[in-house]
Amino acid sequence: MCGGEGRRLAASLDHERSDDRIEKPLFEVGGRPMVDRVLTALDASAVDAVHAAVSPATPATREHLDGRTNLIETPGEGYVEDLAGALDQVGAPVLTVAADLPLLGADLVDAALEAHDTGPVTVCVPAALKRRLGVGVDTAFDPGEVDADVVGVARPAPSELAPTGLNIASDDDPTQTMSLSYDARLAVNVNRNKDAEIAEALL
């Protein structure tokens, strides 16, 4: 998924880095655009095919990826709407990943695939892990308040989980699975410049 406007990231950049608007998927971490890092992980994983969902908000990303991977046009109306548009074109089940996960590895993608049986999978990390790393926690929830099977939970179970942006969408079974990871690479979504600095420190 690489069609978002990246407003939080743009707002967090200092003047020197924001003279020209940088599309979020093309924002560099460790000298490489984040979307390239994600594609490298996907290409080395067990997924069958890779599609990049772009939007009117990311024309430079579309140009950057054209000829390198299959492009899917989405409306650019928000993550949920763009995901729905992408699923209409690709179909389910499909693994989805946000372009703001620059530390993603093929092993993490394959672990998500292994967690999939028939229903949808949401890969989460403890919100406390994100806070320890110093990255932003934009969404968190109590795992006891969701109607889902939570797998990979240590004891004691975390009181808050945060979605990572790595998921499997499926129509085959309504049973939702929350797959919990304690891997710091999945805890770093780059939504702000500070997040990018932490990601670079972990490379």
Tens of pLDDT, residue by residue over 20-61, are 578 999 999 999 999 999 999 999 999 999 999 999 999 999
pTM of the complete model: 0.88
Task: List strand residue ranges (DSSP E) for 18-153, in order.
Answer: 28-29, 32-33, 51-54, 70-73, 94-97, 121-126, 149-151
Position 161 in a domain? yes
At 66-125, the pLDDT tens digits run 999 999 999 888 888 888 888 889 888 899 999 999 999 999 999 999 988 778 899 999
User: How much is the pLDDT for 16?
Assistant: 47
- Cis peptide leading into residue 174 (ω within 30°): no
User: How much is the pLDDT for 155?
Assistant: 65
At residue 158, the 3 state secondary structure works out as coil
User: How much is the pLDDT for 11?
Assistant: 66
Position 1 in a domain? no
CB burial readout 107-127, b (16+ within 10 A) else e:
ebbebbeebbeebbbbbbbbb
Secondary structure letter of residue 149 according to DSSP:
E
At 144-177, the pLDDT tens digits run 888 777 777 666 778 899 999 999 988 766 678 8
Position 193 in a domain? yes
Position 73 in a domain? yes
Q: Which domain holds residue 135?
A: 7-202
Q: What is the mean pLDDT of residues 124-146?
A: 92
Classify the C-alpha dihedral 11-16-17-22 as positive or negative.
positive
Position 159 in a domain? yes
CATH number of the domain where residue 150 is located: 3.90.550.10
Position 32 in a domain? yes
Position 2 in a domain? no
CA distance readout (Å), 56 to 23, 72, 78, 101, 111: 11, 11, 11, 21, 32
Overall domain count for the chain: 1
Q: What is the mean pLDDT of residues 4-26?
A: 67
Position 19 in a domain? yes
